[in-house]
Homo-oligomer: A and B are copies of this chain.
Amino acid sequence: MVENDKQTEKKIFEAATEVFMEKGMDGARMQDIANRAGINKSLLHYYYRTKDRLFNEVFEMIFGHMLKKFAPVFDADLTLEEKIRFFFREHITFLQKNPRLASFVLHEINRNPERVRNFIGRIDIGRLWTDIEAQHKDELKKSNIRREDIPQLMTSIAAMSVFPFAARVLVKSILEKMGYDFDDYIEKRKEYAAEFVIGAIRKEKGIREKA
């Protein structure tokens, strides 16, 4: 039954995604995945030959999904400030729905740098980069953001969004000990992060002008 085939393969993939996200490649057990999918362990090898292949498919899907979340920012026809607000709203909401994703990706990226270089190699980052530059030329100039500062700015934006989830357990522990609620903190962060970054780059002007 073709209907059921897809069902099984999908069930396996979803179970694998869950287990890999929780335990990482090294910590994950094929038996766990089979159990969670409610099928026999041999079926895993029937659909996905090896643990490596299964993991690769899961990772590429997740990593691709994550990178794709950055895309609208490059495309949208918005001012720089609007884009920043838009990004944080969308991206933090995305990570909110996938709380283990950040930590998983960061770990697996580090475990296998080759895969990342491969992935990056397939993307035309140069185009995205120059697009952003061209699109916001005036605004960047107005804020005195030099070409060489763009990497700093980009990673700062990513950091503001990703870190609270990557360090989730630690941040949550500390916040709760201080009487704050993590979910509330995250909800507020969507706006806070945007204003934080906008404030920072507005300020850049002052700094550069003084120099």
A103-B107, A159-B160, A201-B199 known; A178-B126 Cβ under 8 A = yes
Report copies per complex: 2
Q: Which residues of chain B are near A30, meaning CB under 8 Å?
A: none
A163: contacting residue among B163, B173, B195, B200, CB under 8 A: B163
- Chain B nearest Cβ from A56, distance in angstroms: 17
Q: Is the CB of B151 within 8 A of A185?
A: yes
Q: Which residues of chain B are near A158, meaning CB under 8 Å?
A: 163, 167
Main secondary structure of the interface of A (DSSP, over half): helix
A174: contacting residue among B125, B162, B188, CB under 8 A: B125
Once bound together, how far apart are the Cα atoms of A125 and B176, in whole Å? 11
Q: Mark A18-57, 1 if CB is under 8 A from B, else 0.
A: 0000011011000000000000000000000000000000
Size of A's binding interface in residues, CB under 8 A: 60
Once bound together, how far apart are the Cα atoms of A151 and B174, in whole Å? 9
- Determine the residue in chain B with the shortest Cβ distance to A180: B151
Once bound together, how far apart are the Cα atoms of A37 and B101, in whole Å? 35
A106-B107, A113-B169, A163-B163 known; A198-B193 Cβ under 8 A = no
Q: Is the CB of A120 within 8 A of B177?
A: yes
Task: Indicate if A10 sits at the interface (CB-CB under 8 A).
Answer: no
Task: Indicate if A202 sits at the interface (CB-CB under 8 A).
Answer: yes
- Determine the residue in chain B with the shortest Cβ distance to A126: B178
Task: Indicate if A117 sits at the interface (CB-CB under 8 A).
Answer: yes
- Chain B nearest Cβ from A153, distance in angstroms: 8
Q: Would you mind naming 23 contact pairs between A and B with Cβ atoms under 8 Å apart?
A: A106-B107, A106-B166, A110-B169, A113-B173, A116-B169, A117-B173, A126-B178, A151-B174, A151-B180, A151-B185, A152-B185, A152-B188, A152-B193, A152-B196, A155-B167, A159-B164, A166-B166, A195-B203, A196-B200, A199-B199, A199-B202, A199-B204, A200-B200
